[in-house]
């Protein structure tokens, strides 16, 4: 591995897709800022990533709060002196039927999933130079509906639209912004609560015949964060084993 003079922030990085992304970027030589809600979780994840041979920083952050996002960015600049990559991965998906959904339920998902992308991207862009990259983690729920996840589907659709709009505004700064839309990924949060029967039913919907892994998403992020993707902006890359083709 060749160390790069580049720094990447990954939100929601304590486990699952976020940890997979942070690890994959570390293996490419990026210095990593691990962010999640609890400092202890951040430090545990950062310690594991440090073993890959890169410098890390652990910063607890509620990405739905402007002041905490500001602290995340300022701590990154204080430690590394620069910010090159932002991966907006943090998100929640509490199942609740639409008829039972409260305004609080709706607002919470919108704040964590969509407002966070606005806050983090706005703060990050102020520090990024030409060649900076923002990668948002969306979902196939931005294209197809899922019962009990109306708020989640709406928030992920919003991420795709925000990505396209920001790509136009950031083009003059030569900062790329793209989204990745994962399908069903085997993570502690997503598949941990699945029964074997539910898992079989889900896999039956996927032409590739398996659930995705965090590394499937992470390698897509590695590509979009690299200079190989310099001419790609405002796009949504679907990584779902073919689910949405049916």
d(C-alpha 13, C-alpha 36), whole Å:
6
Contacts of 73 (CB under 8 A, 6+ apart): 9, 83, 120, 123, 124, 126, 127
DSSP 8-state code for residue 212 = B
Q: At what angle do helices 16-27 and 214-225 cross, to 10 degrees?
A: 50
| 231 catalytic residue (yes or no) | no
Question: Exactly one of 30, 93, 95, 152 is catalytic; which is it?
Answer: 152
From residue 206, give the alpha-carbon distance in Å to each of 144, 179, 211: 14, 21, 8
d(C-alpha 9, C-alpha 190), whole Å:
23
CA proximity to 243, closest of 143, 158, 94: 143
End-to-end CA distance of the chain: 39
d(C-alpha 99, C-alpha 101), whole Å:
6
d(C-alpha 97, C-alpha 105), whole Å:
11
Strand pairing category for 236-239 and 7-10: unpaired
- Catalytic residue annotation: 152
């Amino acid at each position: 591995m060749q160390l790069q003079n580049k720094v990447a922030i990954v939100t929601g990085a304590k486990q699952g897709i976020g940890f997979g992304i942070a690890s994959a970027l570390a293996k490419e030589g990026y210095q990593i800022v691990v962010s999640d809600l609890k400092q202890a979780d951040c430090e545990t994840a950062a310690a594991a990533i440090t073993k890959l041979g890169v410098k890390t920083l652990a910063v607890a952050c509620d990405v739905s709060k402007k002041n905490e996002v500001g602290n995340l960015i300022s701590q990154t600049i204080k430690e590394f002196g620069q910010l090159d990559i932002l991966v907006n991965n943090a998100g929640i998906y509490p199942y609740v039927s639409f008829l039972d959904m409260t305004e609080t339920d709706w607002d919470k998902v919108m704040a964590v999933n969509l407002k966070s992308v606005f806050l983090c991207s706005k703060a990050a862009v102020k520090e990024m130079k030409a060649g900076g990259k923002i990668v948002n983690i969306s979902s196939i729920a931005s294209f197809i509906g899922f019962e009990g996840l109306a708020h989640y589907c709406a928030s992920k659709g919003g991420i795709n639209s925000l990505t396209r709009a920001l790509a136009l505004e950031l083009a003059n700064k030569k900062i790329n912004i793209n989204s990745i839309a994962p399908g069903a990924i085997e993570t502690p949060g997503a598949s941990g609560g699945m029964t074997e029967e539910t898992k079989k039913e889900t896999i039956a919907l996927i032409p590739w015949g398996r659930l995705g892994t965090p590394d499937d998403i992470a390698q897509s992020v590695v590509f979009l964060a690299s200079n190989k993707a310099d001419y790609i902006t405002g796009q949504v890359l679907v990584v779902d084993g073919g689910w949405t083709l049916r």
